[in-house]
Amino acid sequence: MTGHEVLRVFCGPGGEHGNELGVVRDGASVPHRRDRQRIARELAFGETVFIDDPERGEIDIYTPSVRLPFAGHPCVGAAWLLGVDRLVTAAGAVGVRREDGLTRIAARPEWAPGRTLRQYGSVAEVEALEVPPPGEWIYAWAWQDEAAGTVRARAFPGRGDGIDEDEATGAAALLLAARFGRALTVTQGRGSRLLAGPRPDGLVEVGGLVVAGAAQPAGGVGSA
């Protein structure tokens, strides 16, 4: 197994929860896509990012089953890890901004992978959902407080690759902020937090807190 490290992206305010991200720092040592896909499948994180050029911020993103030209939590995690001002993805250049200990990236909404944004009438309905059968990538959400722009969400990738529910989904939060044209604060999964909002130049930002290290076992930081 190629050496890797783990970050948690979009953590709660105290560093809890967050979506685990596999990082292969020496992406150049794995030049072939089929090998990258195999490694991502073996690591079995929602997404794994390969760092191809740390100085230029060139990255390559994989789920356990597919390559993604762009995805939110790998970009935010890689930006935090590398300390660069921009990333280069297969979709295009991604801007990076840091503020108040948070890392934010800016991208075009059309780069986000396809998701079904499904609104529910209440937070309780979202929290009561069962994992649906594979087939459709569903982002289930409801307003916590519409006036304040706070949202409760859960995400079900539906790929049948072992990731039944995504803890924090930057691309989906980006799409939701683009749809409403306003800043949103999203609580997803067990308590991860994402901040998203449009910019005047047509890009949409999404960001949050990044912490090094995997989630702790049940009963520790990161447990439900």
Vertex 89 angle, CA 85 and 93, to 5° = 50
State how far the Cα of 46 lies from the Cα of 41, in Å rounded to an integer. Answer: 9
Note whether 84 and 52 are within 8 A (CB). Answer: no
pLDDT: which is higher, 114 or 195: 195
Q: Is 25 helix (H, G, I), strand (E, B) or coil?
A: coil
Does the domain at 5-106+205-212 match CATH 3.10.310.10? Answer given as: yes
> How many residues does this entry show for the chain?
224
Question: Could you read off the pLDDT of 57-69 as tens digits, one per residue?
Answer: 999 999 999 999 9
214 alpha carbon, distance to own chain's centre: 15
Percent of the chain with pLDDT over 70: 96
Q: What is the CATH superfamily name and number for domain 116-194?
A: Diaminopimelate Epimerase; Chain A, domain 1 (3.10.310.10)
> Given this model, what pLDDT does residue 170 score?
97
Q: Is 166 helix (H, G, I), strand (E, B) or coil?
A: strand
Confidence category of residue 223, pLDDT binned at 50, 70, 90: very low
In the chain, ranges of CATH 3.10.310.10 domains: 5-106+205-212, 116-194
Tokens standing for residue 37: 């896909």
Q: What residue type is assigned to position 153 of the chain?
A: A
183 alpha carbon, distance to own chain's centre: 17
**Greatest pairwise CA separation for the chain in angstroms:** 49
> Given this model, what pLDDT does residue 67 score?
97
State how far the Cα of 58 lies from the Cα of 51, in Å rounded to an integer. Answer: 6
Note whether 223 and 213 are within 8 A (CB). Answer: no
Q: What is the average pLDDT value for the chain, to the nearest integer?
A: 94
Q: For residue 38, how many C-alpha atoms fall within 13 Å in the half-sphere facing its CB?
A: 8
- Residue found under tokens 């929602």: 46
Question: Would the pLDDT of 222 be above 60?
Answer: no
Among 80, 79, 105, residue whose Cα is nearest residue 197 = 105
DSSP character at residue 215: P
Question: Would the pLDDT of 216 be above 90?
Answer: no
Question: Could you read off the pLDDT of 73-123 as tens digits, one per residue?
Answer: 999 999 999 999 999 999 999 999 999 999 999 999 999 988 999 999 999
Tokens standing for residue 163: 């990731």
- φ, ψ for residue 215 (rounded to 5)? -65, 145
Question: Would the pLDDT of 195 be above 90?
Answer: yes
State how far the Cα of 61 lies from the Cα of 23, in Å rounded to an integer. Answer: 10
* pTM listed for this prediction: 0.94
DSSP character at residue 121: S
Question: Would the pLDDT of 10 be above 60?
Answer: yes
Question: Would the pLDDT of 221 be above 60?
Answer: no
- Residue found under tokens 């896509």: 33
> Given this model, what pLDDT does residue 1 score?
57
Q: Is 74 helix (H, G, I), strand (E, B) or coil?
A: helix
Question: Would the pLDDT of 220 be above 50?
Answer: no
> Given this model, what pLDDT does residue 81 score?
98
